[in-house]
Homo-oligomer: A and B are copies of this chain.
Amino acid sequence: METSIMKLYKNPDKNTWETLSTRAQLDKTQLNDTVTTILNEVKENKDAALYKYAELFDKVKLKTLEVTQSETENANNVISEELKKAIELAKDNIERFHSSQREEPTIIETTKGVQCWRKSVGIEKVGLYIPGGTAPLFSTILMLGIPAKVAGCKEIVLCTPPDSEGNVHPAILYTANLVGITKICKVGGAQAIAAMTYGTETVPQVYKIFGPGNQFVTKAKELVQQQGVAIDMPAGPSEVLVIADETANPSFVAADLLSQAEHGTDSQVILVTNDVTVIEKVNLELEKQLNALPRKEIAAKALENSRTMFFSSVEECVEFSNVYAPEHLIIASENAEAFIDKITNAGSVFLGNYSCESAGDYASGTNHTLPTYGYAKNYSGVSLDSFVKKITFQKLSKEGIQNIGNAIELMAAAEGLQAHKNAVTIRLNTINNLI
C-alpha cells in the first residue's frame, strides 16, 4: 500500500488536520479587473456588449440572443427516446424530493391572541447559468429548474454559451423546455451573469442567480452579489470524500473516486479508511479502471492532488471528514447508517455500497448543487429553500397586545426607543378607553 496513487497519510496528528483539509488556493485577484470590465460593459451597452463578447469569446456572430421556438422543437426531434425517458425518470425523482420540501404555513400561537407563521413565496425572477464546453450539463438544468418551478418562481431565465456555430446543445434545449424555463439566451461567461444582474434588451434582470461555471463566472457571481442580486452559494472545484471500512467494495470505491476525479484536474478526492488492505485494493482498482477512461488524463492529474488518510479508528475517520467538510461524502460500509448521527459537516451523504455519487448527480432526487471548498461547514446545498423567501406574518388580537404589550413597553424603554413603546401604549390606552 506504499504504492498509493494518491498521497498517503497514516494517523496524522490532529493538529495537522486543518492543513490536510485545505483545498488548492484559488487565485481570484487576477480576475477582478477582467470581470469588472465585462460587468461594466454589459451594464452600459446591454445586448450590444453581449453580441460583442459572443464574437470575442464564443467565436460566433449571433443573429439573435434568444433561442427560438424552432430551435427548441428541433432539439426535441434530435434527442433519443431512451435519453428522454432517462431524463423523465430523473425529473420525477427530483420533483418528488423537492416537492416534499414544501412547507405549509403553520400558525403558532406564541401567547394567547398572538399568532405567528411563515409563508414561503417563490422568488419572482431567477436566473440559471449552465456552462457550455464539451459536456452539455443538462442535469444541472433539472437540479435548478425543477425546484424553481416547484417554488413558484414566475420567470426562470437560462443563459448558456453558444458553440462556434451559434447553437446550443439539443440536450440543454430539450431539458430546459421540459422543466418550463421561460427564456433561454445564448450568453456565456461573466457577461451572462452581468446580463441577468442588470438586465438587457433581451435578457431579463433577475433577483437570484444559480449555477456552476468557470473562474470568470464564479468571480462575476461574487462581485454582483455585492450589488443587490443574490447567488446560490460561493463555488469551488468539486470534491468527494469516501470513508471505506473493511465492508467496502474496493472496485466500487475506486469507481466513485474516479467519477469525481474526471470532473477536472482541480477536483479533489479523498479516501479515508481504518483498514490498510482497503488502500491496497482500491489502488489496484484505480489503476485498472483509470486506463479505460476517455478523460483519464484529467482524472490522473486530479488524483495527484488527492489524499488517502489512514486512521486506526473509524471514529477518527468521521472526525477527519467533519473537519474536511466534503461536498460529497460516501460512506462505503455495510454499516453506513451507524455513521449518520456523527456527521456534522457535509453537503450530501451517500450511504452504503450501492449509493454511488452518480446517483445523486443525476437521478436519485437529491440536488447536486452543493457546497464545495469547505463551505459545507456553513452553507446548505441548493434545495427548495433556495428558491423561496420565507415571509413571517403576525396577527395580534386586542387580547394579544394586552398580553404582551407591557413586556414590549418595558423592553423598548430599556433600549431607549420611546416611539417603539408609544406604538404599544397608544393601543393599550385605546383598548382601555383611556383616551
Hey, which bits of chain A sit against chain B, CB under 8 A?
82-83, 85-87, 89-90, 92-93, 96-97, 100-101, 106, 108, 110-111, 114, 116, 118-119, 121, 123-124, 134-139, 171, 207-208, 222, 225-226, 228-230, 234, 249, 251-252, 255-256, 258-259, 261-263, 289, 292-295, 299, 336-337, 340, 343-367, 371, 373-381, 383, 385, 388-398, 400-401, 404, 406-408, 410-412, 414-424, 426-427, 430
Contacts and interface: CB of A to CB of B under 8 A. Distances in A.
A392 B416 contact: no
A378 B207 contact: yes
Contacts of A412: 358, 361-362
A138 B363 contact: no
User: How many subunits of this chain does the assembly comprise?
Assistant: 2
Given A123-B377, A207-B377, A396 B364 contact: yes
A415 B356 contact: no
Given A225-B225, A295-B419, 6 more contacts: A86-B407, A92-B110, A261-B419, A347-B391, A358-B421, A366-B392
Contact of A124 (B344, B358, B363, B380): B344
A293 B412 CA distance: 13
Contacts of A294: 416, 418
Instruction: Choose among A293, A411, A419 the residue with the greatest number of B CB atoms under 10 Å from its CB.
Output: A419
Contacts of A85: 407
Nearest to A106: B100
A418 B361 CA distance: 13
Contacts of A407: 85-87, 89-90, 362-363
22 contacts: A85-B407, A86-B408, A87-B407, A90-B407, A92-B111, A96-B108, A97-B116, A111-B364, A114-B364, A124-B344, A226-B234, A252-B427, A255-B423, A293-B418, A293-B422, A295-B419, A354-B400, A355-B394, A359-B408, A363-B404, A363-B411, A364-B396
